[in-house]
Structure 1
Amino acid sequence: MTAQRRFVRRTVLAATASVAALTLAACGGGTGGKADGGTEAGGHNAADVSFSKEMIQHHRQAVEMAGLAAGHASSAQVKSLATKIKGAQDPEIETMSGWLTSWGEKVPQDMSGMGHDMSSSTPGMMSDADMGKLEKASGTAFDTMFLTMMVEHHKGAVDMAKAEKADGRYGPATGLAADVITAQSAEITRMNKLLGKG
């Protein structure tokens, strides 16, 4: 009787330990958090990797465009908007670069200003020719060109973010995608108003 009791106790303890282990795994895994470094199966998928790589390059170009406003724009509103864009997108580049590193993926090289035309493959990206025109423009001509180009650029980012929300698995990445949609949609509305379209 005691041997049977001991066996039952051991079975119950083993089952309890298994449940506890599964509970801990469920809490710590699959979220891409620090517990698993975002590398466990289910932590992220190919859509998350593509989104991060493409959005880093997309953001870099927006930051490059925004950087031109200080010396080329005539409108204080355009300069303010450009500062806001740079301030929002620089930290997001850092965040996405961190994810890629933690996943064992390469962070894309910074091709901005190096004559590397990505416009054909990434939504909303400006061509080298577009960037050249923007760099040469100043005053109200720059303001109009900057706003027109940035509206298209933002629309591309929103499309990419919507695809990530639909297909991505990594919580922080789909969360960032949702933030991009909210922030950049609001900025599109603001820029269209400045262009007299809103």
Structure 2
Amino acid sequence: MRRPSLVLALALSVASVASASRHGMSTSAPMLSSLQGRAFDVAYAQAMIAHHQSAVTMAQQELAGGKVARVKVAAKAVIAAQQQEIELMNRWLKSWNASGTAPTMHLSRLPAGQTDRWFLTQMIPHHQEAVQMSVVALKDSQTTAVKNLARRIIAAQTQEVQQYRAWLRQLK
């Protein structure tokens, strides 16, 4: 079952993640909490795909303009992990006869020398939002595969947030 208005609402919600997260607000998690069963799983996968695609875009920006080797390595890891998870969730959506398309995020060029700090600063709230969405998935999904992915996202992105914070303190 496709619910275009729900998909549009979730896509718009995911697009505002960075801004809302900086202000302590969660956007997608409450919307997901109102759903049940397969509708929840579809909405979670669609929202997380859009969320992951924006992280991949930010990581590509880091690779293009970043100077700190360990931050660039982290960006490559974000791209690899999140593209793999996008492929997994797209397979789920296909098996559920649901759409997996999401808007593409475009970023403008950052001033020279600020890309590393920008990437770390933006990825912290971005990952925190993914963790929040995944906590809701652990509670509300009835699908083992969805819960397993949610656990992996929580573990990996919580660890990455801690690492990014440490690196930010070390950047000049």
TM range (shorter): 0.7 to 0.9
2:58·2:119 contact (CA, 8 Å) conserved in 1? Answer: yes
Partner of 1:12: none
Tell me the amino acid that sits aligned with residue 149 of structure 1. Q
Q: Give the one of 175, 178, 185 matched to 2:151.
A: 178
1:55·1:157 contact (CA, 8 Å) conserved in 2? Answer: yes
The runs of at least 4 consecutive aligned structure 1 residues that moved more than 4 Å come to none
Counting only pairs closer than 5 Å after superposition, residues 99-178 of structure 1 correspond to structure 2 as 99-113=92-106, 131-132=107-108, 135-139=109-113, 141-178=114-151
Deviation at 1:170, TM superposition (A): 1.1
CA–CA separation in structure 1 for the residues paired with 2:102 and 2:137: 22
CA–CA separation in structure 2 for the residues paired with 1:145 and 1:70: 12
Partner of 1:122: none
Deviation at 1:193, TM superposition (A): 0.1
Partner of 2:70: 77
Structure with more helix by fraction: 2
Note if 1:56 corresponds to 2:49: yes
CA–CA separation in structure 1 for the residues paired with 2:93 and 2:86: 11
Note if 1:196 corresponds to 2:163: no
Give the alignment's TM-score, normalised by structure 1: 0.65
Tell me the amino acid that sits aligned with residue 112 of structure 2. S
Per-residue Cα deviation, 1:127-179 (whole angstroms, up to 9, x for no partner): xxxx43xx32332x111111000001000000011011110111111100000
Q: Percent same amino acid among aligned pairs?
A: 33
Q: Please give the secondary structure, in 1, of the residue aligned with 2:151.
A: helix
1:72·1:137 contact (CA, 8 Å) conserved in 2? Answer: no
In structure 2, the gaps of 5 or more residues are: 1-36
Higher RCO (CA < 8 A, seq sep 6+):
2
Partner of 1:31: none
Tell me the amino acid that sits aligned with residue 70 of structure 2. Q
Partner of 1:95: 88
Tell me the amino acid that sits aligned with residue 96 of structure 1. M
Deviation at 1:59, TM superposition (A): 0.2
Tell me the amino acid that sits aligned with residue 112 of structure 1. M
Q: Please give the secondary structure, in 2, of the residue aligned with 1:66.
A: helix
Deviation at 1:110, TM superposition (A): 4.1
Give the alignment's TM-score, normalised by structure 2: 0.74
Question: Which protein has the larger Cα radius of gyration, Structure 1 or Structure 2?
Answer: 1
